[in-house]
Amino acid sequence: MADAKPYYAHPFDDSKLKEECGVFGVVGVKDAANFVALGLHALQHRGQEAGGIVAHCPDQGFNSARRFGYVRDNFTKASLMETLPGPVAIGHVRYSTAGSKGAVIRDVQPFFGEFSMGGAAVAHNGNLTNANALRKELIERGSIFQSSSDSECIIHLMARSLQRNIPERMEDALRRVEGAFSIVAMTRTKLMGVRDPHGVRPLVLGKIGDGWALSSETCALDIIGAEYVREVEPGEMVVITEKGVESHFPFRPQPSKFCIFEHVYFSRPDSIIGGQSVYETRRQIGVELARETPVEADLVCPVPDSGTPAAIGFSQESGIPYAMGIIRNQYMGRTFIEPTEQIRNMGVRLKLNVNRALIKGKRVILVDDSVVRGTTSRKIKDMILDAGAKEVHFRIASPPTAWPCFYGVDTPERGKLLAATMSEDEMRDHLGVDSLKFISLDGLYRAAGQKKGRKKSCPQYCDACFSGEYPVTPADMIEKGFEMKAAE
Amino acid sequence: MADAKPYYAHPFDDSKLKEECGVFGVVGVKDAANFVALGLHALQHRGQEAGGIVAHCPDQGFNSARRFGYVRDNFTKASLMETLPGPVAIGHVRYSTAGSKGAVIRDVQPFFGEFSMGGAAVAHNGNLTNANALRKELIERGSIFQSSSDSECIIHLMARSLQRNIPERMEDALRRVEGAFSIVAMTRTKLMGVRDPHGVRPLVLGKIGDGWALSSETCALDIIGAEYVREVEPGEMVVITEKGVESHFPFRPQPSKFCIFEHVYFSRPDSIIGGQSVYETRRQIGVELARETPVEADLVCPVPDSGTPAAIGFSQESGIPYAMGIIRNQYMGRTFIEPTEQIRNMGVRLKLNVNRALIKGKRVILVDDSVVRGTTSRKIKDMILDAGAKEVHFRIASPPTAWPCFYGVDTPERGKLLAATMSEDEMRDHLGVDSLKFISLDGLYRAAGQKKGRKKSCPQYCDACFSGEYPVTPADMIEKGFEMKAAE
Amino acid sequence: MADAKPYYAHPFDDSKLKEECGVFGVVGVKDAANFVALGLHALQHRGQEAGGIVAHCPDQGFNSARRFGYVRDNFTKASLMETLPGPVAIGHVRYSTAGSKGAVIRDVQPFFGEFSMGGAAVAHNGNLTNANALRKELIERGSIFQSSSDSECIIHLMARSLQRNIPERMEDALRRVEGAFSIVAMTRTKLMGVRDPHGVRPLVLGKIGDGWALSSETCALDIIGAEYVREVEPGEMVVITEKGVESHFPFRPQPSKFCIFEHVYFSRPDSIIGGQSVYETRRQIGVELARETPVEADLVCPVPDSGTPAAIGFSQESGIPYAMGIIRNQYMGRTFIEPTEQIRNMGVRLKLNVNRALIKGKRVILVDDSVVRGTTSRKIKDMILDAGAKEVHFRIASPPTAWPCFYGVDTPERGKLLAATMSEDEMRDHLGVDSLKFISLDGLYRAAGQKKGRKKSCPQYCDACFSGEYPVTPADMIEKGFEMKAAE
Amino acid sequence: MADAKPYYAHPFDDSKLKEECGVFGVVGVKDAANFVALGLHALQHRGQEAGGIVAHCPDQGFNSARRFGYVRDNFTKASLMETLPGPVAIGHVRYSTAGSKGAVIRDVQPFFGEFSMGGAAVAHNGNLTNANALRKELIERGSIFQSSSDSECIIHLMARSLQRNIPERMEDALRRVEGAFSIVAMTRTKLMGVRDPHGVRPLVLGKIGDGWALSSETCALDIIGAEYVREVEPGEMVVITEKGVESHFPFRPQPSKFCIFEHVYFSRPDSIIGGQSVYETRRQIGVELARETPVEADLVCPVPDSGTPAAIGFSQESGIPYAMGIIRNQYMGRTFIEPTEQIRNMGVRLKLNVNRALIKGKRVILVDDSVVRGTTSRKIKDMILDAGAKEVHFRIASPPTAWPCFYGVDTPERGKLLAATMSEDEMRDHLGVDSLKFISLDGLYRAAGQKKGRKKSCPQYCDACFSGEYPVTPADMIEKGFEMKAAE
């Protein structure tokens, strides 16, 4: 059931994968919600459609605010933030999920439940692969769902648990779910964080004054001046009060399968994953790419902004000068609301413009992070050729994206992934460029610090979108007809 | 847990009782939601804070819209109404409940639940007197409440029922609740209506073309051009499809106890209750009042607008000329949002002005519908005397309001009811008027068509607010410390 | 040139004449703008489309705010009112003028001009009958108009005057204009008020503490607690400072021609005109009407709300019981914005409902204030007959409206006035009622206190809308082709 | 006089100069306003506070819309754009002017005037240095100003001109004004463009289908797919109809003095000025800077985004690797509205974050475009040192900014310019960096294509902000007490 709402859409970014969420939580500081707002602002790249914050203070109990739009437009007004007092707060930013017919405010996390021993709020980054089955079961037993979100299952499972305290109820609930999840949650006094046994999605712990913070990425610790402490480990659940951090491991241990696409595209370049700068990994991808797929040219240009670090690396390794051949309009914002027909047809031009005087007569290498549907790549190629480039060579900082992600990333169905239906040469011809090369999976692993490349038997990362090897069986999707890759 | 929202308050109407809700539903017509919007507009006097509509159409399933503010400001825009297609729809208008710290959109009805055999939506006028106990029990079993509304219990009880269809689940649920309720509900294809066994709140059935309507009052049938068929009977549940109306009686029969205050104040004067014009009953109250409490004077003036029919009756019976001594500002609207200090202090003057040239030097009878806290009555008396009236006589079209209502009307706690702490003479002195008289309970019953007045043993109406005789024990309130009147 | 803006329209009031403006000003009190806001709220019936306030304080100079919508929705917020500090302020409420293709905020008064000796603001109720000619002349000399309002001519004429102070510049300007006007204006320290030589529109002076107020009507003095002092006289200009009121008479004396329709419909019933209660004049109209046009019937019902006082008088004189046969929806507000097709077609039903149980089988006299196009009258008649009335008799509290007003009232062009094209009997048949009678012009004058009725040679009022005798030649309209009544 | 409005401010960009305006106009295409909206979107960097569009179509005459906020948020909605039909349109984006107490919609251009031979609209980039004197004179003659903008003088001068057509009236008007201006203007059928005799501000001509466009920069021609034709020449006035472009030279010839800061910072890097890529000029500034002010270091990092091209050039010339040491939050937007105290204190951190893992232990060269007040530079230095950098060297892509601009750029008063009160060494110590070096004025000229550097006698550019040599005497400012540099 959808509450009526303004129409939002993003007609120009159709060929990028979208992270679905960022989470952030703070305990032990005055006006924790203010810190959460800043943290979410730093995580805005992980979800631009909507955001929510829940806070608790002893006088007023739980308060929440959930809004469509950017954090900076909603959660910065004193009038709103004053309604969210107290020393514990969690928050969430999100994209809309593929398939939902329209965004509704009820789907905006965190979710809240009042239990017999007090309330709890939960926010979640990832995707539960058995959510449909769980939902059906819960409805049959009389649970009433308020949203279409898979995450709401968690709070209902907690409500039905027979455990006597909330952290144990959460353990109970999480033992029923499958998939990828990084969770921040709160009770009246505690902040909690959990990562799934494979640790597919990131979650880090920071220290701020006498308090603590949990965040999807380190860049959000930086913005509030928190000190990075460590990553929450795969399968770990931390329960944090002002007194300190308790660590639990409620799940059966599993091999770690961190999402390699966080390195390629999702995470912010100033974040640190596994002790390593994301920016540096991306630059190194460019270095590997230059080694694997050299080409003679006059300029190396990034497709802004995500291709920039790899383009810098490519230039440094190849010796071909780095240049800003495509300029991004800083005022593009999220999208045009209710655009006129004419504007709808402008497409990528509203966002990007070619630096004509620079490009004219040149052989240009364009470095982009990935090719999903290929729509935008074709338009960019057209713009570059219109500006008089002599040759256009695409170099892609990830292997061909041939499989959908079921772990919290919004991917088109498999048939719409260019690499699922075409070979590299076919893609080159389809895009109409002089050459098109992707980094190899081994090269990507090397750039990410695995010197020997990818382990055959049990890869160090979740790379299902490239390899089709899914660490967790996507049960709901299989029931809907998705076919896994045949075992080799 | 309260979602942040603009602050709404009504500083100038503090001495009136407030009906909490109006309900309306339609089945079997194209774009049923449009009819519901019109019906709710006609019922706006029953609840001015917020409104909601749920509609179902086969293509899209259930859709809903819930908004703060007037129906005419929200549910009249084509852009919104187009999101509510389909041949079945129900709606609700409401006041905020006393005690809630602020209105939240989640508390706005109708409530919706997805059950294993399909969804249902429920809207409710009245109050469940055992809601706290039910809520506690449901939470302990793992239900998650999304609102602070007593009505949400109904949908959770339905979700947990083991019955195989929705009407039977609703019967199941309603057998667990106590109190006063008139409900409209809907499934994908059916419209349902229920009144509690005492029939405290009104609910009427109408016919519109090939379809059917349910409404709190007949005036809302008029606005959509529906023909009045009959009242839903106390304890009756009607299940309506395009094929017709099925009638069920799921409860043990009880004596009818329709709220007599609906006659005095709540219902619109152009509505018909029990075959009788509300306007005519009120005029007759004025006639009885003139007989019971005559006084010599120059003018009979209503306190606008609710005192008007009784003032007309008083004038006709007494022969003293009827006049508009107090003029109401038509543009007052609901209230001032964020008023300046100066405006806050203006109080009643923003709404009412004395017709000075008329009043000067006159002996004036003011006819008002009720006295609750007495605040406004004092201010009106001051205005009348400032304008040069020689004498001021208050005549009240209801008996002294000495007891709170627990059946869906927002009354102050008992200690704040003027009549709970003062005799009639003390009230007269407190208000500072030359005389103050109330109609007797017998007189009120006679005006309402009970020729012999009120039956001692089992009164024909619920008149608890005057008599302290509550037809349903207010269990939750007793647990909170409310003391019933000692049996005589 | 029109600034884009939301579409506002009033599809349901098409058969009423509309006053175009109300003006209010205060000097000599702290935060004068707050008093102006209250005054405008009390004058809202004179103009519901938009309102504006200009205030001056020594620190900040002139500030203004102009808004579409009701005073209560805009000028009551502390955040806005704080931007309008200072001891002098004037304000304006307005209807849109017929013929303007859409309302624009630039047309909302007061108008402001910066002159070499300091600024001035002007607000105006009425209409300048030579505005087109003046505008053309001013543009040719290099004045730039910011609005389509006739009133802007005044400020440009003032800007070009060679007088050395603002009151003298205003005298200069007003000697160039023709038509009907009641003006409030202000400089940095002075409040000014002017009425045209015929005194067509009202303007009254009040005292509030150490300060002074000017208002279109006395009801707006009441709301701020100001004492009524006197009317500004026809042709008088008052210049008010904290020290007192100076009186000037800059025009050649003319016979007084106050608008008689102010008595019939425009002014609020609680206002006092010429020492006489407007309510009492209207009641007296009903008395005269009952004498002039008696009819046998069961009930006298007003068409709410403007017909109420005359209906009371008719009932009192005729002895036929007064009753509320038609009930007005209090929540109708100004109009529906962007209504759905279905709602657009509901018309008058959204606003009025018949009291069916009362009307059924009765002979009903309906008292209305006027008949303009007749559209609403027909719909009301249909509603009454649908409800089962046996006979319907219309009694109209004004003579047939056969001529347009050019002095500040929004009337349809002559051809659309029912009385311009039909006799009384034809109108009766057109409306489909059992009888239709208007009060005579003599009867109206008697009700307004002229015992001998209307003077033939030089009527005491402007009654051009009934008689076609225009006290000021409508020059602009004659140039556009309007034909005056042939001299008899 | 200020209309009340929401508070907008930009607390975090206080150390950048701000261009005040961008202008764009189109004639000879269907729905010209849609093209203007796109052009303004591409020029948004020249003015982010507000935008306005005026369009003319034969049926409806002139229409306008003026809004606070981004073009993409206002001028992209079909509902608004439909109100601006017709084949001629002009538009404007603007910053607020220093000294204005708050932005008001009346100050938003284009300005419109109705003359005796038809209306005209005017939009202006630059600043009139004798506007105060002109305004005073015009007011004395009876002109009424609606804004506090210097640009409004032009339309009043046009209104008072005795010429019989609008282009000649504009010539008349412009011969009275002094200062820097690039104007686009329109009549009912013509598009006009003018540059002041020195050509301080840019204006280019483009061809789109059968129509023509005028734009502040070429990047806005690109977005609508228009072909770049040529620059409007200093002192030239073009009058464009569908038939073609007429060229007039109404002013006495003057040496060209194009603003050199357009090259350094204002213009977009993908624009072309004088046949040269702005990006390439900036890269070349980096090259010159590396030659003039070498330093040993590990990394060259831009201060994003304006320092990027110069940093690339510096790296290429010096051989020191280019790296993204500071990451910009893409979701920062214009600013926070009504921020909480806590957020207000965050300052630059909301916008920029250091790439900690990269910076730690490194000697870092930071390349920025300019130093104005130095506030942001200090904060950036602190962030870099907090992240563990070993050394910080600032290299600035412009000479020290020691003089305010009076030609349309919002600069602090002289006393607040760091370079006006400190030597380079004092600035270095004030900022607390290991070294601070600016490019020389000669180096800047060389990068801009003047091989021999700056001409002593008559410099090729306006470089008053660096040199204090003002090509047009700032008359108004001198009257307010500004002291010019003593002649050497």
Residue D347 and residue D236 share a domain: no
Structure-block tokens of residue B28: 């079997």
Please state the rounded mean pLDDT for residues D466-482: 94
Residue in B with minimal Cα distance to A138: B116
Distance CA C290, CA A96 (A): 69
Q: Each residue of B430-484: pLDDT tens digit?
A: 999 999 999 999 999 999 999 999 998 899 999 999 999 999 999 999 999 999 9
Q: Do B76 and C339 touch (CB under 8 A)?
A: yes
Q: Please, which residues bridge with residue A463 across strands?
A: none
Q: State yes or no: pLDDT of D12 exceeds 50.
A: no
Does pLDDT of C124 surpass 50? yes
Cβ atoms < 10 Å from Cβ of C10: 15
pLDDT in tens, C99-117: 344 557 778 899 999 998 8
Region of poorest pLDDT, from A95-109, C439-453, D69-83 = A95-109
Residue B405 is assigned to a ligand binding site: yes
- The encoded tokens of residue C256 equal 């007084």
Looking at the domain assignment, is residue A267 inside a domain?
Answer: no
Facing residue for B139 by CB, picked from A1, A83, A115 = A115
Distance CA C137, CA C160 (A): 12
Query: What DSSP character marks residue D232?
Result: P
Kindly report, residue by residue over A191-216, the tens digit of the pLDDT: 999 999 999 999 999 999 999 999 99
Of B3, B63, B139, the CB nearest to A2: B63
Q: Are residues B302 and B201 in the same domain?
A: no
Over residues A120-137, mean pLDDT? 95
Q: Are residues B250 and B320 in the same domain?
A: no
* Catalytic residue selected from A21, A153, A219, A301: A21
What residues of chain D lie within 8 A of the CB of A322, using their CB? 312, 322
Q: Which residue of A has its CA nearest to D322?
A: A312
Query: For A151, phi and psi rounded to 5 degrees?
Result: -65, -25
CB D318 within 8 A of CB D296: no
Predicted ipTM > 0.85: yes
Torsion angle of C-alpha atoms B307, B309, B312, B317, degrees rounded to 10? -100
**pLDDT the model gives residue D79:** 85
Q: Is residue A9 part of a domain?
A: no
Instruction: Judge whether residue C344 has pLDDT over 90.
Output: no
Q: Do B160 and A145 touch (CB under 8 A)?
A: no
C308: pLDDT strictly greater than 60: yes
pLDDT-based confidence at residue C444 (cuts at 50, 70, 90): very high
Residue at A272 is within a domain: no
Q: Does A122 have pLDDT greater than 80?
A: yes
Is A434 within any annotated ligand binding site? no
Mean pLDDT to the nearest integer, A358-378: 94
What pLDDT is stored for residue D16 in this prediction? 63
- Active-site residue set of B: 21
- Enumerate the residues of chain B whose CB falls inside 8 A of the CB of residue A84: 4
CA C280 to the chain's CA centroid: 19
Where residue B4 falls among pLDDT bands split at 50, 70, 90?
Answer: very low
* Residue D340 to residue A75: CA distance in whole angstroms: 9
Q: What is the pLDDT of residue B333?
A: 60
Are chains B and C in contact at 3+ CB pairs closer than 8 Å?
Answer: yes
Confidence (pLDDT) at D355:
94
Token pair of C335 as six digits: 């109009």
Percent of chain D with pLDDT over 70: 91
D481 lies in some domain? no
Does residue B11 register a pLDDT over 50? no
Strands (E), A357-444: 363-368, 391-396, 409-410, 435-438
Out of A269, A340, A357, closest to residue D280 by CB: A357
Was B369 annotated as part of a binding site?
yes
Is the same domain home to A321 and A248? no
Q: Do B303 and B205 lie in a common domain?
A: no
Cβ of A77 within 8 Å of Cβ of D222? The answer is no
Give the pLDDT confidence of D236-283 residue by residue, as tens digits.
Answer: 999 999 889 999 999 999 999 999 999 999 999 999 998 889 999 999
Q: Do residues A294 and A366 both lie within one domain? A: yes
Residues C165 and C69 in one domain: yes
Neighbour-count burial of C335, counting CB atoms closer than 10 A to its CB (0-12 exposed, 13-18 middle, 19+ buried):
middle
Contact C377, C431 (CB under 8 A): yes
Q: Output the pLDDT for position A337.
A: 47
Two structure tokens written together for B119: 């969804």
Of A2, A62, A143, the CB nearest to B159: A143
Q: Are B82 and C338 in contact (CB under 8 A)?
A: no
Residue C412: pLDDT band by 50, 70, 90 thresholds?
Answer: confident
Asked whether residue B462 is marked as a ligand-binding residue, the answer is yes
CA angle B325, B326, B331 (to 5 degrees): 145
Place of tokens 């939601």: B33
Question: Are B50 and B103 spatial neighbours (Cβ–Cβ below 8 Å)?
Answer: yes
Residues on chain B touching C358 (C-beta within 8 angstroms): 277, 279-280
Cα-based torsion angle of the residue sequence B291, B269, C73, B371 in order, rounded to the nearest 10 degrees: 30
- By residue count, chain B amounts to 488
H helices within C86-165, ranges in order?
A: 131-140, 152-160
CA distances from C22 to B372, C84, C468, D227 (A): 37, 20, 25, 55
Domain that holds residue D187: 18-257
Chain A nearest C-alpha distance from D340 (Å): 5
Closest CA to D189 of D57, D64, D53, D92: D57
Q: What is the pLDDT of residues D183-240, one digit of tens each?
A: 999 999 999 999 999 999 999 999 999 999 999 999 999 999 999 999 999 999 999 9
Residues of B in contact with C341 (CB under 8 A): 78
What band does B12 get if pLDDT is binned at 50, 70 and 90? very low
pLDDT of residue A333: 60
State the total domains in chain B: 2
Q: How far is A246 from chain D (nearest CA, A)?
A: 28
Is pLDDT at B102 greater than 60 in this prediction?
no
The mean-pLDDT minimum among A17-21, B34-38, B57-61, C219-223 falls in A17-21
D21 is catalytic: yes
Residue A324: inside a domain: yes
Contact A64 B2 (CB under 8 A): yes
Do both A289 and A252 map to the same domain?
A: no
Distance CA A208, CA A186 (A): 17
B206 φ, ψ (degrees, to nearest 5) = -135, 165
DSSP assignment letter at B487 = P
Instruction: Output the average pLDDT for chain D.
Output: 90
- List chain C residues with CB under 8 Å of D2: 63-64, 83
- Is residue C360 domain-shared with residue C434, that is, in the same domain? yes
Q: Which of B116, B136, B145 sits opposite A139 (nearest CB)?
A: B116
* A180 located within any domain: yes
Contacts of B4 in chain A (CB under 8 A): 63-65, 80, 83-84
Contact status, residue A421 vs residue A142, Cβ threshold 8 Å = no
Q: A480 lies in a domain?
A: no
Q: Which of B342, B351, B359, B360 to mutate to probe the C interface, most C CBs <10 Å?
A: B342
Phi, psi of B140 (to 5 degrees): -60, -25
In Å, what is the CA distance from B309 to each residue of A369, C306, C365, D190, D393? 76, 17, 18, 67, 86
Give the helix, strand, coil percentages of chain B, each rounded to 5. 30, 25, 45
Q: Given an 8 Å threshold on Cβ–Cβ distance, is D159 in contact with C146?
A: no
pLDDT grade for B99, boundaries at 50, 70 and 90: very low
**What distance in Å separates residue B6's CA from the closest CA in chain A?**
10
Question: Mean pLDDT, to the nearest integer, of D297-324?
Answer: 96
In the block, tokens 């004037």 appear at C90
Query: Span B164-181, mean pLDDT?
Result: 96
Which residues in A lie closer than 8 A to residue B140 (C-beta atoms)?
A: 116
- Where residue B228 falls (left for φ over 0; alpha for ψ -120 to 50; beta otherwise) is beta
By C-alpha distance, the chain D residue nearest A347 is D223
Task: Read off the tokens for B75.
Answer: 């549910």
How many angstroms separate the CA of residue B358 from the nearest CA in chain C? 7
- Determine whether the annotation assigns residue D405 to a binding site: yes
Report helix, strand or coil for C230: strand
Q: Which residues of B touch C79 (CB under 8 A)?
A: 338
Contact C270 B340 (CB under 8 A): no
The residue ranking higher by pLDDT, A376 or C345, is: A376
What is the structure's pLDDT at D99? 36
Q: What is the mean pLDDT of chain C?
A: 90
The pLDDT value recorded for residue D331 is 82
Chain D adjacent subunits, 3+ CB pairs under 8 A: A, C
Task: Note the pLDDT tens digit of each residue in B70-79.
Answer: 898 899 888 8
What CATH number is associated with residue C55? 3.60.20.10
D240 lies in the same domain as D284 = no
Peptide bond between residue B404 and the one before it cis (omega within 30 degrees of 0): no
Q: Which residues contact B319 (CB under 8 A, 6 or more apart)?
A: none
- A7, A208, A222: best mutation site toward chain D, by most D Cβ within 10 Å? A222
Structure tokens at A463: 């790379």
Q: What percent of chain B has pLDDT over 90?
A: 77
Is a pLDDT exceeding 80 seen at residue B488?
no
Instruction: Measure the CA–CA gap between A435 and A395, rounded to whole angstroms.
Output: 8
Q: Tell whether A131 and A173 lie within a shared domain.
A: yes
Paired sense of beta strands A118-128 and D61-68, if any? unpaired
Question: Which of A223, A324, A356 lies nearest to residue D353, judging by beta carbons?
Answer: A223
Report residue D48's pLDDT band, with 50, 70 and 90 as the boundaries: confident
- Cα C291 from Cα D360, distance rounded (Å): 101
**Touch test D–C: 3 Cβ pairs or more under 8 Å:** yes
pLDDT tens-digit map of B337-387? 455 666 666 667 888 999 999 999 999 999 999 999 888 899 999 999 999
Contact A65 B159 (CB under 8 A): no
Strand runs (DSSP E) across D211-251, as ranges? 211-215, 227-231, 237-241, 244-248
Tell which wins on pLDDT, D215 or A337. D215
Tokens of C396: 């109209």
CATH number of the domain residue C431 falls in:
3.40.50.2020
Whether the pLDDT of residue D335 is over 90: the answer is: no
Q: Which of B229-233, C346-350, D68-72, D284-288 has the lowest mean pLDDT?
A: C346-350
A273-319: per-residue pLDDT in tens?
988 899 999 999 999 999 999 999 999 999 998 899 999 999 999 99
On average, the pLDDT of chain A sits at 90
| pLDDT over threshold 50, residue C10 | no
Name the closest residue on chain A to residue B136, using Cα atoms.
Answer: A116
Asked if the structure places residue D269 within a domain, the reply is no
Q: Are residues B200 and B291 in the same domain?
A: no
Would you call B66 and A144 a contact, using CB atoms and an 8 Å cutoff? no
State which residue of chain A sits closest to B77, comparing Cα positions.
A4
Q: Say whether the peptide bond before residue B305 is cis (omega within 30 degrees of 0).
A: yes
Instruction: Determine if residue B301 is labeled as part of a ligand binding site.
Output: no
B160 neighbourhood in chain A, CB within 8 Å: 141-142
Express each pLDDT in B293-329 by its tens digit.
999 999 999 999 889 999 999 999 999 999 999 999 8
CA distance C78 to chain D (A): 12
Sheet of A299-302, strands arranged across:
A299-302, A363-368, A391-396, A435-438
Contact D63 C4 (CB under 8 A): yes
pLDDT at C482 over 80: yes
State yes or no: pLDDT of C78 exceeds 90. Answer: no
| DSSP code for C485 | P
**Looking at the predicted structure, is the pLDDT value of residue D75 above 70?**
yes
Determine, for residues D350 and A41 on separate chains, whether the beta-carbon distance falls below 8 Å: yes
pLDDT tens for D129-181 read: 999 999 999 999 999 998 888 889 999 999 999 999 999 999 999 999 999 99
Query: What average pLDDT does the structure give for chain B?
Result: 90
The per-residue pLDDT for A73 is: 86
Handedness of CA D321, D326, D327, D330 (dihedral sign): negative
